[in-house]
Amino acid sequence: MTRGKRKGIKTIGILSGGGDAPGINAVIRASVKVAVRHYGLKVTGIEQGFGGLIEDRTRKLGLKDVMGILPRGGTILGTTNRDNPFHYPVRLENGNVEFRDVSDRVLETLQKHRIEALIVIGGDGSLKIASQLWNRFSLPVVGVPKTIDNDLSATDQTFGFDTALTTATEAIDKLHTTAESHYRIMVLEVMGRYAGWIALQAGLAGGADVILIPEIPFDINKVCAKIRERSAAGKQFSIVVVAEGARPIGGEMVVKKVIKDSFEQIRLGGIGNLVGEQIEERTGIETRVTVLGHLQRGGSPTAFDRILASRLGAAAVNLLMEGRYGEMVCLRTPHIASVPLAEAVGEIRRVPLGSDLVRLARQAGISFGD
């Protein structure tokens, strides 16, 4: 395959890789509609991420196939955190597992179904694979940024984040009522990996008293001091929001487990329970911990996520038809733009310490435990 604009594209493929996020179906729907209605293309859906390309699991996607999926969470194509074609686990006769480069099978599947260009919906792991396919094989590919963590640096915001944020905020609202009724400390652990966007914004929106994020290591004694301060002022409850990647000063993030053949080998989790135990032990105040977990990934996407996802899906098809391969569509408020895939996965987008959101939280009396 040669680089540059490709005339005469007739069939494109779409896959979603990595963790699911509300809004993937909106991307698929918009891509199919624009491809079929505007460009007269055929669309093939690849099932279960890159595993579908490796194992040849595909299906046709027409206008009828995307009817009614706009408000649906998840993805009609399925997804997985595993199945990297450049590092694919193969079980040997002796029972051991060996990782091999099976990217040639990806090309075979694409050629078999006459798929000439590919849209990859994913986070940093999936987009790195997309970048490798472009760099190694000149495969016409365009990426669509997807993660509830909002941690991709090349886009102002990822779809799925707003829905996850809304879910976390609603959880804080509910915890407020039981915290007030029982005079308890309520600790809520939220997702976000190595970035604190969900914790910070949900904490602000939900009126949390303490917010612990990866970008600001905390001192548990200062967290407890904030709780005692509230207690002395007659406020007999507190809400503590903890990002899964938060860590104490001089300490490490809490790792729940390690999955060797996954895009994201390290799975964080457990910091909420650790913080809750330490608060109760130091303050003597009854403390309860809620781990929100995969609830943040589920449910119908918000209006914002539906619109953003639809804009990105349409833009991805337009990029392919303009011959602009090896790029990722992105939000550059208020416009949809694009950046090279290599730039898209270059670094994690973290909460800037000088952010007006951090400043707002501090001025409003919220503690970061520092």
Positions annotated as catalytic residues are 149
Q: How far apart are CA 213 and CA 275, in angstroms?
A: 12
- Sorted by sequence, the CB contacts under 8 Å of residue 223 that are 6+ apart come out as 210, 212, 240, 275, 279, 367, 369
Q: CA 266 from chain center: how many Å?
A: 15
- Are 198 and 168 in contact by the 8 Å Cβ rule? The answer is yes
Q: How far apart are CA 291 and CA 3, in angstroms?
A: 47
HEC per residue, 216-278: CCECHHHHHHHHHHHHHCCCCCEEEEEECCCCECCCCCCEEEECCCCCCCEEECCHHHHHHHH
How many Cβ atoms from other residues are within 10 Å of residue 37's Cβ? 10
Alpha carbons within 13 A on the beta-carbon side of 153: 14
DSSP string, 11-73: EEEEEE-SS--TTHHHHHHHHHHIIIIIT--EEEEETTTHHHHHHT-EEE--TGGGTT-TT--
SS3 state of residue 2: coil
Region of residue 246 (left: phi > 0; alpha: psi -120 to 50; beta: else): beta
